[in-house]
């Protein structure tokens, strides 16, 4: 299966088991600290409008570093030089869903990566030929896709828990190149960055 032909590509076992365990543990600690600090008892208090039945987080440092680590591999798959923009991650719970949508400019090229799961949860994408494809990801697998071009979605989740992270990139020579680091001065920051610093993304990661 070719990314250039279909607009998406599945990569199996991209993350080793030890790193998966580390990422899963970090994510759970982040979730639990949010609830401890706020005193919230509603499991969905930190969901978002796109998928309310979840715990959602923007730019967790451990996922931001993963986006940097995988940048060269995603660039090779897309056959483009890419800049990382930002990451997003969710812990989905029963009845969570993801409405059919296309992504914003900072998500020109994206990957959804399964970190942990009690059940397989189908990821749907409409490829460049207009065909609906069903993708099944086990922990450690990822699907790279053209996020602004292809519609993608998930049907309501009937399992117990699914942990996914989303790594987003833009073409370094494309129309959205100015979305590098999601217009932040560096990876790992929240969205609340003073306007005078938003485009000063001069930090590089080797």
How does pLDDT run across 54-92, given as a tens digit for each residue? 999 999 999 999 999 999 999 999 999 999 999 999 999
Domains of the chain in sequence order: 3-197 (2.60.120.620)
- Please state at what angle helix 71-78 crosses helix 61-69, rounded to 10 degrees: 50
Where residue 202 falls among pLDDT bands split at 50, 70, 90?
low
How many angstroms separate the CA atoms of 124 and 152, rounded? 5
Q: How far apart are CA 27 and CA 173, in angstroms?
A: 33
- CA separation for the pair 21, 131 (Å, rounded): 35
The answer, yes or no, to whether residue 25 has pLDDT greater than 90, is yes
Question: Measured on CA atoms in the order 140, 90, 103, 172, is the torsion positive or negative?
Answer: negative
**pTM score, two decimals?**
0.91
pLDDT over 60 (residue 198) = no
121-140 confidence digits (pLDDT tens) = 999 999 999 999 999 999 99
**Residue 143: count of CB within 10 angstroms of its CB:** 20
Q: How far, in Å, CA of 61 to CA of 22, rounded? A: 13
Tens digits of per-residue pLDDT, 38-64?
998 888 888 888 888 899 999 999 999
């Amino acid at each position: 299966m070719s990314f250039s032909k279909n607009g998406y590509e599945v990569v199996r076992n991209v993350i080793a088991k030890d790193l998966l365990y580390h990422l899963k543990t970090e994510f759970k600690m982040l979730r639990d600290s949010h609830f401890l600090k706020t005193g919230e008892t509603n499991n969905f208090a930190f969901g978002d409008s796109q998928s309310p039945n979840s715990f959602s987080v923007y730019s967790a440092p451990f996922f931001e570093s993963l986006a940097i680590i995988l940048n060269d591999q995603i660039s090779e798959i897309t056959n483009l030089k890419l800049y990382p923009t930002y990451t997003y991650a969710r812990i989905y719970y029963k009845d969570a869903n993801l409405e059919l949508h296309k992504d914003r400019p900072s998500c020109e090229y994206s990957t959804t990566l399964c970190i942990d799961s009690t059940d397989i949860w189908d990821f749907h994408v409409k490829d460049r030929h207009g065909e609906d494809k069903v993708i099944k990801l086990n922990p450690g697998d990822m699907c790279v896709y053209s996020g602004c071009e292809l519609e993608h979605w998930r049907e309501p989740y009937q399992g117990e828990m699914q942990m996914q992270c989303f790594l987003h990139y833009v073409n370094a020579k494309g129309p959205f190149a100015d979305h590098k680091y999601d217009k932040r001065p560096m990876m790992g920051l929240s969205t609340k960055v003073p306007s005078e610093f938003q485009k000063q993304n001069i930090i590089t990661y080797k």
